[in-house]
Amino acid sequence: MAQTIAHLGPHGTYAEVAALKYLSWLTQTTHDTALLCPYPSIAQSLEAVAKQQAHFAVAPVENSIEGSVTMTMDALWRLDNLRIQHAIVLPIHHALLSIAERLDEIQTVYSHPQALAQCQNWLDRHLPNVQLIAANSTTEALQHLGENQTIAAISSQRAAQLYSLPILAAPINDHPENCTRFLVLSLDASKGGSRTSLAFSVSANQPGVLVKPLQIFAEREINLSRIESRPTKRSLGDYVFFMDLEADIREAAMQSALSELASCTETLKIFGSYDVLPSIS
């Protein structure tokens, strides 16, 4: 029976490209087959795995320009049984799609909020007076184009080819090195790797509350590559802290650190250790 890979849809999103890359890796390394299953939102794709409706989910977690994808982080904290299997880094190259012949015809631009933000400087320079409207995905934005020459959408050049839509300008992202990190998640236990992701909450908002958790890893010379807070949604000023560490959970130093961390946090969730997959063409 073929496995299923959930991702943000519809057909043509960057999440689908990341899912295709994972499918290619899966086929080459395990000879397993899989089917891609698009979902209307990132949260729904992750919930599909949590509810055993899909075997894997591929979801964006961090962009090099706009930072964390908060919907993914919040879902990770909320869905207790998801574990990270791999990470995929995908270059992002945005294009402006429209049936308009000139930029000065454009009055409205649709896209995912992350894509709009990643092209903000370009939009300010070339389309300073347009109305920007958020869509659930860069591909969903394309449904607004129709025959209206005053509307454009920010999407990928691949989506333009898939839907036979003209590209008015490309690339339009503000930074050429724009890339997004995607996580591959499932219900399986993590198999280990060079990176570990976790999150924790603390019992009280008071001075020095983060000192102890940070010292635990510093004393063991475990490098912290990322730390970020998200509101718990219980009360103002109450946060969850997400960490990425450059170590494998199976190492003795990490086992010791996590044991000590559990004693000084309110809730500790370990998402697993994993590797970043090599680029696959």
CA distances from 214 to 186, 211, 244 (A): 28, 5, 12
Residue type, 152: A
* Residue 279: per-residue pLDDT: 64
* Tokens matching residue 152: 């454009």
* Topology of domain 3-92+178-186, CATH: D-Maltodextrin-Binding Protein; domain 2 (3.40.190)
* Residue 281: per-residue pLDDT: 45
* Residue 234: per-residue pLDDT: 80
Q: How far apart are CA 122 and CA 118, in angstroms?
A: 9
What are the tens digits of pLDDT across the range 172-226? 999 999 999 999 999 999 989 999 999 999 887 777 788 999 999 999 999 999 9
Q: List, for the chain, all residue ranges whose pLDDT scores fall below the cut of 70.
A: 1, 279-281
Topology alike, domains 3-92+178-186 and 94-169: yes
**Domain segments of the chain: what residues?**
3-92+178-186, 94-169, 195-276
* Tokens matching residue 176: 């050429």
Neighbour-count burial of 51, counting CB atoms closer than 10 A to its CB (0-12 exposed, 13-18 middle, 19+ buried): exposed
* Topology of domain 195-276, CATH: Alpha-Beta Plaits (3.30.70)
Which residue has 């080819």 as its token pair?
161
The residues, ordered by sequence, that sit 6+ positions from 180 with a Cβ below 8 Å of its Cβ are: 14, 18, 60, 62, 63, 64, 89, 90, 92
* Tokens matching residue 119: 């092209």
First to last CA, the chain: 26
* Residue 75: per-residue pLDDT: 95
* Topology of domain 94-169, CATH: D-Maltodextrin-Binding Protein; domain 2 (3.40.190)
* Residue 233: per-residue pLDDT: 82
Q: Quote the pTM value.
A: 0.92
8 A C-beta contact, residue 52 and residue 26: no
* Residue 239: per-residue pLDDT: 87
Tell me if the bond preceding 176 is cis, omega within 30° of 0: no
Q: How far apart are CA 216 and CA 82, in angstroms?
A: 25
CA distances from 57 to 42, 116, 143, 150, 186 (A): 9, 24, 25, 36, 7
